[in-house]
Amino acid sequence: MKVAVGQFAVTKVWQENVQTCLDLMTQAQAAGAQLLVLPEAVLARDDNDPDLSVKSAQTMNDAFIDKLCGQSRHDQMTTILTLHIKTTAGRAANTLLAIRGGEVIARYQKLHLYDAFNVQESRLVDAGNSLPPLIDVAGFKVGLMTCYDLRFPEMALSLALAGADILVLPAAWLRGPNKEMHWATLLAARALDTTCYIVASGECGNKNIGHSRVVDPLGVVIAAANQKPTMIYAELESQHLTEVRAMLPVLKNRRFASPRLL
């Protein structure tokens, strides 16, 4: 399966951001990608207003999602991203959407909110309380995660034990001391924990690192971006996944009970 990962700098104007998403969808589809992963919180972002993503939150019936679904009617590529969906007054849910064939085929409300490194996402964002569903893409089972979820190995493992072959991760990974190292290390670790492919997209604005990556089940980086807006591609092979899991059967060799999310 050919996968595409698009990274870009989200602006404070949602119309600009949705057009960027549409352009990346067109580009990925033209390249023959069957899966496109875009960053986290692509609705709106302002370096001078950390609350803009929530202030700009839309509903599932508003224009941003409607335009993405309209674009997706032209093909069967699956596009994955996150944006903020209104919940109660002044609050929102950081919501991952999987879009295909003109419809939202799956959604996931971010479980692990980023209350770390002097940031408190939970101040205005409501956490989810359940694991996302696996989705089928071109014969692969795909597990869904969002940004800070990467730091919680039990979530990745739960998805792998449920049958995931690929873990996708839209992200907006904040800059800071050693943060690029954390990102790279954790992506490789989750691949090795689960013997899954990891497909991770990072927003690349002034405050976030970019560095989108595709990592194979042995933790090897097979495609990578730097800090600039770009699209990267990789081929994921079911035979390679089968061979790795036969050679390194960590999912079968486990002697602990299945992890519990809550």
The residues that are catalytic are 40, 110, 147
Amino acid at 257: A
What distance lies between CA 29 and its chain's CA centroid? 18
d(CA 68, CA 230): 19
